[in-house]
């Protein structure tokens, strides 16, 4: 069993930009690369789980997302950070078009992407976390049985009044990583 950090992408790893899909618009959150290196050095496998309703809405395609995710993974690899997997949900029940307008188990707050990662990568759920900037990220983590962590980047500052008592809050991914390093 492997301890794992599940990570939302937009607003957690990279700066939140509506419907981000172009490499030239991608920008890591402040100290996010350092944070991911710390987590990796602590022995956590890193799995990205991201809702991508821009695909459902027809703003960009799955190929665009794959290119962007590959870019992010390669940039992190240059800095000694290995991303184990990147899962995404391209669905949206109300705003989706065509085959993407479905109710699914993968769109957070549903835990489908996390459960897939748990099954595929032998995740030790008792020693794993879900880090995100939205209530839906936290709820997906709770439903999957991992510890929910809110970062105040992206939409995180607006989520604080709605928090479940199980949720720990940090200014950003770097603060979470450094505090976790102190525990280990």
The C-alpha atoms of residue 106 and residue 171 are separated, in whole angstroms, by 27
Give the residue numbers marked as catalytic: 8, 10
């Amino acid at each position: 069993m492997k301890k794992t950090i599940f990570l939302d992408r937009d607003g957690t790893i990279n700066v939140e930009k509506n419907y981000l899909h172009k490499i030239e618009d991608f920008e890591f959150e402040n100290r996010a690369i350092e944070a991911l290196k710390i987590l990796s050095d602590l022995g956590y496998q890193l799995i990205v789980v991201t809702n991508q309703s821009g695909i459902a809405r027809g703003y960009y395609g799955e190929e665009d997302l794959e290119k962007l995710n590959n870019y992010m993974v390669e940039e992190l690899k240059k800095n000694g950070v290995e991303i184990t997997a990147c899962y995404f949900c391209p669905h949206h029940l109300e705003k989706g078009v065509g085959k993407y307008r479905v109710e699914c188990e993968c769109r957070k707050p549903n835990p489908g992407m996390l459960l897939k990662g748990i099954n595929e990568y032998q995740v030790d759920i008792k020693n794993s976390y879900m880090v995100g900037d939205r209530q839906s990220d936290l709820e997906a983590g709770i439903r999957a049985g991992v510890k929910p962590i809110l970062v105040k980047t992206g939409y995180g500052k607006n989520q604080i009044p709605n928090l479940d008592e199980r949720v720990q809050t940090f200014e950003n991914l770097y603060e979470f990583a450094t505090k976790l390093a102190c525990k280990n």
